[in-house]
Structure 1
Amino acid sequence: MKNKVFLITGGTSGIGLACAIYLEKQQCNVIITGRNQKTLETALQQLGSNATGFVSDTSKLTAIDQLVFNVKEKFQKIDGMFINAGIFKAASFEETTESVFDETMNINFKGAFFTIQKFIPLLRNPSSIVLNTSIVVFKAFANTSVYTASKAALEGIAKVLNVELAPKGIRINVVSPGVTQSPIQKKSGMTDAAIDDLLKHFSETAPIGRIVQPTDIAPIVSFLLSEHSWVLRNEKIIIDGGTTL
């Protein structure tokens, strides 16, 4: 892994930042993206000299084009990507608005789709792409209809991409986290009390006896990005501490 270059979208907090920290400790060069300069700078302060950050809104194709240009200008080629940028807005099916639908799908699926497409010329042969989805794809949770659809769509294209991109040496695999202690709950609009109840429930019911942390996920993403996962294609690793057993 030493000196390899990996892009992490949505790398300023939570799972993305934990993966960036872990990969940099493996002597990798890490590129992270965030939607605003302040959060990007805060994240970079937690990383070392092998980290680079770019402000980029994955929901906008022009921003993805600019990101590709910036990465190519500095690194020419990359060895893999962790497609991690995503949002969750809690809303019942009946109360879901068009704006919530569009924002969720634009970031979680459309942005991921076109980030992969536009970075293909920069991906080395061989290289690895890891998609961050969720256990919501196979376990139903109330108030997650659009989020679930966006993550299911992302998993849905993984198999196709593995077939189409195989001649270029690009492989795609998936991590499917369970409820993880990260800023995504706060950003979703959930109250502090609701977040506390959620984390308490999964801490008490998980066979591991605690909530999943972003640092639990980072080594698994690193494995999927590394040459050790070369034989894996379209595999999904469920990282939920056993809550869906």
Structure 2
Amino acid sequence: MNNQQKGKVYLVGAGPGSIGYLTLKARELLAEAEVLVYDALVDPQLLDLVSHDCLRLNVGKRGGKPSTPQTEINQILVRYCQKGKNVVRLKSGDPLIFGRSREEREALRAANCEFELVPGISSVLAAPLLAGIPLTDKHLSSAFAVVTAHQPEILDWEALARLDTLVILMGGRNLREIVSQLRKHGRDESTPVAIARAVARPEQQFWFGTLADIVEQTAGISLSPTVTIVGEVVSLSDRLTPDLF
């Protein structure tokens, strides 16, 4: 007879950066974890929340650096779940926003492994807020869209250029192309732009400008990880000097 304990995997959002933005639910799960599978962008202090005998596996993906293939991550989750372990898959931000969770959930379902989703604060929301920018406003922004600019060539720039507010993730390396596409499709060069780098971390930085000058402002600066906000609501930031726009 097999008396092995049934394992479970928790797909957990770690928040945008600092440990201070971790949810209470996530903290409880980390304390109970037997296996921790974590991304590169999570706060190192989070590792102190697991027990000393918890197996810690860094599977983080960073552009231009060696990384663990997604298929291998899937196999790790399934393997330890089938061994009866309590597994926490810790992802930066929220696990379902550009977190490649689909592949992991499909692998877990196929292996009949139990799993649970635990939300986290996404940089989509945290970056504009920490920059003092409201994504919606009665007069300036009735809607906003979130995109990843990792592959700008596949985006519908004509449609995006018409929206009040854009929140663009993973666009640091392609900032010049982003600006070019928005202007090409009708966005005025005076449109305010903000760039938030490493939000919710001690080293966070913000740049404010327009489509006309933001590329020049950030020339030569590593903009990873970064969130770009485009739209008139940027002008409402309390971090701005009154005469910037």
Please give the range of the TM-score, normalised by the shorter of the 2 chains: 0.3 to 0.5
TM-score, length-scaled by structure 2: 0.36
Structure of greater Rg: 2
- Between structures 1 and 2, the one with greater helix share: 1
